[in-house]
Structure 1
Amino acid sequence: MARANKSDIRLDTPKGLRQSAFPTRGPGSDRFGRFTESIARGMGTPWFLVGLTLFAVGWMLWNTLAPVEWRFDSIALGFIALTLVLSLQASYAAPMILLAQNRQDDRDRVQIEQDRQRAERNLADTEYLAREVVALRLAIKDMASKDFIRAELRSLIEHLDERDQVALAEAGEAAAPSAASAASAASAASALTERPTGV
């Protein structure tokens, strides 16, 4: 089982996503991570600084002005308990801030990966659209323009007019001999009718 888990680890997996000997993933660790992150966020606000300042000032005023039997920290020893409390708070604050920063690094890594995938998709879409635009330009270049169609129609009309004129001229030449033969037949018929019957 351990060998199978080791073989599943890929070298290109980000370091924060790899499984370690001590499991740091799971619902419990995520809950703890959210908790530390919220504390680190709270420490990064001005209200935390104001509250910490008021706490330290109140501590020093109480241990300075309160009756001796009510004091729990000695001014003569330089407020050792206050120093201990503030050191303890600082020693816990630094790892919490680092944990929150690690979680933010993991989120940034995931965001960078998503941005990279989105950029690759955008690049592929852009290349596809560029190819489509080139194909459309080539198709439009092969299409006939309005001027070309008009010129072709004009030449076709001129050709049809010339053919009609030739047909009319041939029809006129054919009609001329038939008219001459009709005229000679008419003159022959009139000559027959004019001859006297008694001859």
Structure 2
Amino acid sequence: MEYKHNPPTLAELRTERRPLRAPHREIRSSLSFFESLAVKITRGIGTMGFFLLLFFWTAGWLLWNVYAPLEWRFDPAPAFVIWLIISNIIQLVLLPLIMISQNFEGRFSELRAQADFEINQKAEKEIEVIIAHLENQNELLLELIHKIDRR
């Protein structure tokens, strides 16, 4: 019996199938020492704990220099020059690290999108095979129904 569709078998599909990619492993293995260091630092500073540390450090600094006895104040209000210098140094150090980490995340996102696209292509091909098998079954059932009706 000749069928309209001749889909591949499961074994044939498995031989054609390329192995799935792991984008996170590909990216992590391609990072230089400094890139991986930047990612680790960025993970640390991108937390609520780091935000709270900076918030309480700033609040403590400002409150101390406003309300402490005059002889204990080391950064006079309202300028807080030392605090501004230290804050700017922290920003100058962290901003390039954040940019490096964002570049890393961008590359990772592109690889992940490519891997998702490949998975979707495989799924689409497998769905087409399943539909072809179902159409073959429909043809076979219709043929059987016609044979039964003739009797």
- For this structure pair, what is the TM-score category when the shorter chain's length is used for normalisation? 0.5 to 0.7
Displacement of 1:85 in angstroms is: 1.0
Residues 65 and 75 of structure 2 are in contact (CA less than 8 Å); yes or no, is this contact kept in structure 1? Answer: yes
1:96 aligns with 2:110: no
Counterpart in 2 of 1:59? Answer: 61
- Residues 165-184 of structure 1: pairs in structure 2 closer than 5 A: none
Counterpart in 1 of 2:118? Answer: 117
Instruction: Deviation per CA, 1:151-180: give whole Å up to 9, x if none.
Output: xxxxxxxxxxxxxxxxxxxxxxxxxxxxxx
Change (3 A) 1:141 1:64: closer
Structure 2: 5+ residue runs without aligned partners? Answer: 1-25
Count of residues in Structure 1 that have an aligned counterpart in Structure 2: 122
Counterpart in 1 of 2:38? Answer: 33
1:72 to 43, 53, 74: 74
Change (3 A) 1:91 1:64: same
- DSSP 3-state at the match of 1:127: helix
Identity of aligned residues (%): 18
Displacement of 1:100 in angstroms is: 2.2
Bigger Rg, which one: 1
Residues 44 and 50 of structure 2 are in contact (CA less than 8 Å); yes or no, is this contact kept in structure 1? Answer: no
1:138 aligns with 2:139: yes
Q: TM-score, normalised by structure 1?
A: 0.51
The aligned amino acid for 1:135 is: N
| 2: CA distance, partners of 1:85 / 1:72 | 14
Displacement of 1:103 in angstroms is: 1.9
Displacement of 1:69 in angstroms is: 4.7
Of 120-129 and 134-143, deviating more is 134-143
Displacement of 1:32 in angstroms is: 0.7
Instruction: Deviation per CA, 1:51-106: give whole Å up to 9, x if none.
Output: 32321221123234444554332337x11100101111222232222222222212
| 1: CA distance, partners of 2:112 / 2:88 | 36
The Cα RMSD (Å) is 2.7
- DSSP 3-state at the match of 1:73: coil
Q: TM-score, normalised by structure 2?
A: 0.65
Structure 1: 5+ residue runs without aligned partners? Answer: 1-16, 18-23, 150-199
Superposition misfits of 4+ residues, deviation over 6 angstroms: none
